[in-house]
Amino acid sequence: MTDTTISNALARIQPSQTNAMTDRAFELRAAGADIISLSVGEPDFPTPPHVIEAATAAMLAGETRYTAVAGTAKLREAAALHFQRDLGITVAPAQVLVSTGGKQSVFLCLTATLNPGDEVVVPAPWWVSYSEIVHFSDAEVVKVATTPASRFRMSAEQLEAAITPKTRWLLLNSPGNPTGATYSAQDLLGFAEVLRRHPRVLVMSDDIYAPLRYGQGPHATLAALAPDLAERILTISGVSKSHAMTGFRIGVSAGPQWLISAMTRLQSHITGNACTISQAAAVAAFTGPQDFLLDWRERFRARRDAVVAAINAIPGLSTPVPDGAFYCMVDATPHMARFGDDNALAMHLLEHGVAVVAASAFGGQDGFRISFAADDAVLQTAIARIAKALESQ
Ligand code: PLP
């Protein structure tokens, strides 16, 4: 008999529930069911033509070999330009690591530094992979619950209360998945004050949704606002969400040399370099025209407004207006007595033709996340189905 024991590290984690729901929607569709998937977090816009051209040109020019593990010199330079221009963070190209998606950047920084028993402070609801990656490293998630009333933002007081001598990381994600929570400069300066009192705490700032902010003013990020903390802040960005390049699998991170070196060491044994062709495409994304991003943002804003209004008009559902990204975290508390839990509610909605992800997958509760990165007519149909599904029974 084959011994099918898996590692203790793997046994501690669950498959990504957003991917699981998306896969389930694909399967049902393949079997002929009419399913609208609002479970996946990717823009529905086509990848910009100049990016596709750069990828094609790279292939034709023979850029089909390994590159340096940390990425090509061109992409590290282009990413350093992006961090400066778009996030206000000054870094040398040597302080940039190119990985296979932002997801790998998150995995590397946590896995390269966490030890059993370390604690990681994460405002909830959080992006699904954060908690699982922390558990993979045998570390503990310290959950800081946030509410719609604060637009899902943690306060400096909550942060202070969550930190203990075992705290190793604080994970920030602004604009955030799954809530759209977006921290202001003032919020972040408050966190910086707290962090100065706790020198062992590292900060991961996942800014992958930075171009998708609906408020006024420039994007606020900790590394730009508190340069004195730069030796312990890793900022993660990428092209997946901003440039509709999810399939290219490129993520970039910028941080102190010691951390970038540790992450590169780990990456050298996992994927080695990120896809060479995708790296050439990402150079075009960072250095080419950026004006279309404003148009995309306005289209997302219009969808957001329509979706929020339509959800809030359904009895028993409510959602605050998200300040960034393309998700709504919908509260369905009044329906919980009927369904038992939010997983049962998500399955019920799937039976009515809409794939969403239960809030509990994100460390939340009694609700679900929808992505509004879909065509207007599709969104309208999906919301009509949700309304109907909650009427029935
Ligand atoms: N960070 C957040 C908050 C995300 O929502 C995602 C994707 O859903 C990622 C990182 C990873 O993006 P990718 O690996 O596609 O670049």
Q: 215: pLDDT confidence band, cut at 50, 70 and 90?
A: confident
**388 Cα to the center of ligand 1, angstroms:** 31
Tens digits of per-residue pLDDT, 299-354? 999 999 999 999 999 999 999 999 999 999 999 999 999 999 999 999 999 999 99
CA distance 303 to 290: 21
Contact 213, 323 (CB under 8 A): yes
Residue 223 three-state SS? helix
**208 Cα to the center of ligand 1, angstroms:** 7
Q: Of 288, 279, 248, 281, which Cα lies nearest the Cα of 54?
A: 281
Residue 206 CA: nearest ligand 1 atom is: 1
Of 241, 270, 371, the one to substitute when testing ligand 1's pocket (max ligand atoms within 8 A of C-beta) is 241
Any idea which architecture 8-46+292-391 has in CATH?
Alpha-Beta Complex (3.90)
Tens digits of per-residue pLDDT, 155-200? 999 999 999 999 999 999 999 999 999 999 999 999 999 999 999 9
Write the CB contacts of 347 (distance below 8 Å, at least 6 apart in sequence).
none
Tens digits of per-residue pLDDT, 131-155? 999 999 999 999 999 999 999 999 9
Percentage of the chain lying above the pLDDT 70 cut: 99
Write the CB contacts of 377 (distance below 8 Å, at least 6 apart in sequence).
none
The CATH 3.40.640.10 domain(s) of the chain lie at 65-287
pLDDT at 50: 97
Residue 176 CA: nearest ligand 1 atom is: 3
- CATH fold, domain 65-287, is Aspartate Aminotransferase; domain 2 (3.40.640)
**148 Cα to the center of ligand 1, angstroms:** 22
Q: 381, exposed or middle or buried, with CB in 10 Å at 0-12, 13-18, 19+? A: middle
Q: Tell me: pLDDT of 368 over 60.
A: yes
The CATH 3.90.1150.10 domain(s) of the chain lie at 8-46+292-391
CA distance 364 to 282: 34
Q: Tell me: pLDDT of 372 over 80.
A: yes
CA distance 350 to 382: 11
CA distance 101 to 375: 25
Write the CB contacts of 38 (distance below 8 Å, at least 6 apart in sequence).
354, 355, 356, 370, 371, 372, 374, 379, 382
The β-bridge partners of 141 are 120
Question: Ligand 1 — pocket residues by CB below 6 A?
Answer: 41, 101-103, 127, 173, 177, 206, 208, 238, 240, 246, 251
- Cα dist. 159→146, 162, 228 in Å? 11, 5, 19
Token match 């590159």: residue? 67
**62 Cα to the center of ligand 1, angstroms:** 29
Tens digits of per-residue pLDDT, 245-284? 999 999 999 999 999 999 999 999 999 999 999 999 999 9
Q: Tell me: pLDDT of 123 over 60.
A: yes
Q: 392: pLDDT confidence band, cut at 50, 70 and 90?
A: low
pTM, whole model, 2 decimals? Answer: 0.95
Question: First and final CA of the chain: distance in angstroms?
Answer: 47
